[in-house]
DNA sequence: CCCGCTCTTGCAAGCGTGTGCAATGGTTTC
DNA sequence: GAAACCATTGCACACGCTTGCAAGAGCGGG
């Protein structure tokens, strides 16, 4: 019942009347094989349904072609589009994505990395959580490349890809000022992801510099439902905010919906909102959310490029600008 | 630079003062090892940072622990939540998901399956497209299990998981009738996915049976933007539909937004809408979409259960009921 | 005609595991 | 006390592949 019949290079070799090495070389780009043998091998392989065993190949080369994607809450719009972009890029360089979803705990990230090592993954890309330093050291020692996306924390020899969160936050403030808003708020989840915190801090600092007060509210996971709660908290304050910068588009959607439907506020006339990520829903006509775009394709490209191309200096940090997408949720675009 | 230093079972054995087999057995559940040796092996393994090489293990067992997920447009809400559910289930039985995204072509699905075979994946789960019969036969011969989700087409020895699309469509009709709608429409994409077509056909048949006419409109990919176009086409008809059953929640969101914002129609007073999938956005207060829920967790559970537990009869079909989630987009819930 | 060169090919040594087989030592049973 | 049994352990082979090495083939130049 569980007997799997795979055809091996030996059988192909026999059928083609060549040695096993010839078969191997036929399927190894850049190896020395004559046109004639290659043809005969391919013919036999086709007929028998032969496929190179990537496990064995990986065992020899110590390089599996697998790249581990470590991510939590991957059914979230931003995450899933990033995963899509990355796996697409990986395929274009003949690698394949191994998907591991974690809960938010760093422990589960450690486990994921261990698994990656077990599979001799060529690299791991971390989208959520932060592994223990001892594990990352182990990765380095194992020759496993590491990419940290939006983690904003240093790790020996790893590539860090981050956005200019703080700078974006400053621009959000300017946008609100231009719109004539003076009572400002920042809506955040309470998970404390580095990039989210950077947006918050950047916004608060910029406001401080401008001598403006800003109310910060934090609640729950970084999801729509938390946005609902945050809006309820913020919009029932004595001095109702005129503008809310949300750490995230999902939060922003929750805020927008609650402001409009529950509090009957007109956006952007009575309330301006800016989000972050530019998820697909932000462009839907119910939201028309002004937001900062995460350039997922660019991020994916940088990550994969670094994996394939040995890095110049081995640990590198890349910081990408997030463009502001003007839509209808802020006055005076 | 590319030299990876991995620690092998041999080194662990030396350090622990036992044979290499002992190490192997320590990491093989159910193998015969004394408590004492196990302890010493674990200690040495810990100290050296040893991890069983899954490639080598897979090579021996002809079973990699990898399961291939083949999917297109994976950044779509329904798809990504299904992927999440499946990969979660897989992890709970110590398998790991290999993610391959395809374009819509069946050719790319074939390639994906070939890759799965190359990696000696234990199984492949197909969420998009339909592979050529010759390839699926090859999979069977290679002992590779195959799960087809929402593909609604027979394949030798594969597990097919489908919903009762037709029956759901009949219930949609009943819901519209109860709401007093008589001019009905069905909004579909033009990609012709079997499950989407089944919903369309089921709806049209049910309407026929009831002696009601239904306008069918098809356009573009199965996305929000197509919903916008479909609404524009349907709502400018001489006899404006009073109810629209959408093949998909994404389409429904586009339809709803366009009906409300562009055509200033009140939902559900002037227009009733039903969708399919119950994506997260459907519950957002801008939509409050009445829709059929795809039980993604159940689907994932069935798929993975079949993978691990050798099937009773080897090719099986499972058909799952989709529950109607009543929200505000249909009158008289 | 021979030397040296290039291109191709086969041999065989691994890569890091799992596991059948036989040997060992200890324990139970009669 | 001997026989029978069991748990544990080491040996050695197999898994399917890559690749260094050496040998063979073809060929032009001297």
Q: Which helix (H) or strand (E) holds B42?
A: helix B35-48
User: Looking at residues A275-283, what average pLDDT do you find?
Assistant: 97
pLDDT higher than threshold 60 for residue A271: yes
Nearest to B321 by CA among B166, B209, B149: B166
What percent of chain A is predicted at pLDDT more than 90?
78
The answer to whether position B59 is within a domain reads: no
Q: Could you give the number of structural domains in chain A?
A: 3
The CATH number that applies at residue B37 is: 1.10.260.40
Domain containing B170 — which CATH number?
A: 3.40.50.2300
Question: Looking at the domain assignment, is residue A263 inside a domain?
Answer: yes
Q: Does residue A59 fall inside a structural domain?
A: no
Measured in whole angstroms, the distance separating CA B27 from the mean position of its chain's CA atoms is 33
Would you place residue A294 in the very low, low, confident or very high pLDDT band (cuts 50, 70, 90)? very high
In a domain, A254, yes or no: yes
- Range with the poorest average pLDDT among A163-172, B27-36, B114-123, B264-273: B27-36
Same domain, A179 and A199: yes
Give residue B1's pLDDT: 42
Nucleotide with smallest C1' distance to residue B25 CA: C18
Residues B144 and B106 in one domain: yes
Cβ pair B292, B276 in contact under 8 A? yes
For residues B117 and B182, state if they share a domain: no
CA-to-CA distance for B38 and B19, rounded, in angstroms?
A: 12
Q: Is B276 on the interface with A (CB under 8 A)?
A: no
Q: Are residues B178 and B274 in the same domain?
A: yes
Give residue-wise pLDDT tens across range B40-90.
999 999 999 999 999 999 999 988 999 999 999 999 999 999 999 999 999
Interatomic separation, CA of residue A16 and C1' of nucleotide C10, rounded (Å): 14
D30 C1' to A21 CA distance, Å:
37
Q: For residues A158 and A172, state if they share a domain.
A: no
Residues 169-198 of B with CB under 8 A from A: none
**How many residues in chain A?**
333
With a CB-CB cutoff of 8 Å, which residues 63-92 of chain A face chain B? Answer: 63-64, 66, 69, 74-77, 79-81, 83-84, 87-88, 91
pLDDT, tens digit, 9 for 90 and up, residues B181-199: 999 999 999 999 999 999 9
SS3 (DSSP) at B148? strand
pLDDT confidence bin for A1, thresholds 50/70/90:
very low
Burial of B32 (0-12, 13-18, 19+ CB in 10 A): exposed
Q: What is the pLDDT of residue A314?
A: 63
Best probe of the A interface among B94, B285, B308, by most A CBs < 10 A, is: B285
Gap between the Cα atoms of B81 and B61, Å rounded:
32
Compute the Cα dihedral for A10, A15, A17, A22 and give only its sign: negative
Tell whether A158 and A209 lie within a shared domain: no
What pLDDT, in 10s, does the model give residues A124-179?
Answer: 999 988 888 888 888 888 888 899 999 888 888 899 999 999 999 999 999 999 99
Looking at the fold, whether A151 and A187 belong to one and the same domain comes out as no
Asked if B224's CB is within 8 angstroms of A284's CB, the reply is yes
Question: Is the same domain home to B106 and B200?
Answer: no
A151 bridge partner residues? none
B284 vs A50: CA distance, rounded Å:
50
Residue pair A106/A116 in contact by the 8 Å Cβ criterion? no
Q: Where are the beta strands (DSSP E) in B164-295?
A: 184-188, 214-218, 243-246, 272-277, 290-293
Residues composing chain B: 333
- Tokens (6 digits) for B114: 């070939």
Greatest Cα pair distance in chain B: 87
Residues B151 and B187 in one domain: no
Q: Look over chain B and give the mean of its residue pLDDT values, rounded to a whole number.
A: 93
Q: Do B159 and B303 fall into the same domain?
A: yes
Q: Which positions in chain B touch A143 (Cβ < 8 Å)?
A: 2-6
Whether A284 is in a domain gets the answer: yes
Give the whole-angstrom CA distance, residue A241 versus residue A186. Answer: 10
CA B273/CA B188 separation, integer angstroms:
13
The residues near B35 (Cβ < 8 Å, ≥ 6 apart) are none
Per DSSP (E only), the strands in chain B are 66-71, 96-101, 123-126, 145-149, 159-163, 184-188, 214-218, 243-246, 272-277, 290-293, 316-320, 323-325
A215, part of any domain: yes
Strand runs (DSSP E) across B170-305, as ranges? 184-188, 214-218, 243-246, 272-277, 290-293
State whether B119 and B169 are in the same domain. no
Name which of B198, B197, B160, B199 is nearest B291 in CA terms: B199
Range of the domain at A130: 64-163+296-320
| Any domain includes A325 | no
Residues A72, A153 share a domain: yes
Q: How many CA within 13 A on the CB side of residue B7?
A: 17
Residue A38 (CA) to nucleotide D25 (C1'), in angstroms, measures 18
* Residue A233: pLDDT band with limits 50, 70, 90: very high
């Amino acid at each position: 019942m569980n007997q799997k019949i795979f055809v091996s290079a030996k059988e192909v070799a026999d059928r083609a009347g060549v040695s096993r090495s010839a078969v191997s070389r036929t399927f190894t780009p850049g190896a020395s094989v004559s046109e004639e043998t290659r043809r005969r091998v391919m013919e036999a392989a086709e007929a028998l349904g032969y496929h190179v065993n990537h496990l064995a190949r990986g065992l020899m080369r110590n390089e599996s072609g697998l790249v581990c994607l470590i991510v939590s809450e991957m059914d979230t719009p931003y995450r899933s589009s990033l995963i899509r972009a990355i796996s697409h890029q990986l395929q274009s360089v003949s690698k394949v994505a191994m998907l591991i979803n974690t809960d938010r705990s760093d422990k589960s990230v450690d486990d994921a990395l261990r698994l990656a090592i077990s599979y001799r993954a060529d690299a791991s890309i971390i989208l959520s959580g932060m592994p223990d330093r001892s594990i990352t050291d182990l990765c380095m020692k194992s020759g496993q490349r590491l990419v940290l996306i939006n983690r904003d924390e240093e790790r020996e020899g790893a590539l860090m890809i981050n956005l200019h969160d703080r700078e974006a936050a400053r621009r959000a403030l300017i946008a609100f000022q231009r719109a004539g808003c003076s009572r400002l708020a920042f809506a955040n989840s309470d998970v404390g992801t580095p990039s989210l915190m950077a947006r918050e801090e950047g916004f608060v600092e910029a406001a401080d510099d401008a001598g403006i007060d800003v109310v910060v509210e934090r609640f729950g996971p970084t999801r729509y439902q938390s946005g609902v709660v945050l809006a309820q908290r913020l919009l029932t304050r004595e001095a109702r905010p005129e503008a809310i910068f949300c750490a995230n588009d999902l939060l922003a959607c929750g805020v927008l919906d609650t402001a409009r439907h529950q509090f009957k506020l007109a956006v952007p006339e009575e309330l301006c909102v800016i989000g972050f990520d530019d998820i697909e829903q932000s462009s839907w006509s119910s939201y028309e959310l002004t937001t900062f775009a995460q350039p997922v394709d660019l991020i994916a490209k940088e990550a994969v490029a670094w994996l394939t191309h040995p890095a110049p200096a081995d640990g590198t940090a890349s910081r990408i600008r997030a463009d502001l997408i003007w839509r209808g949720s802020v006055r005076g675009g």
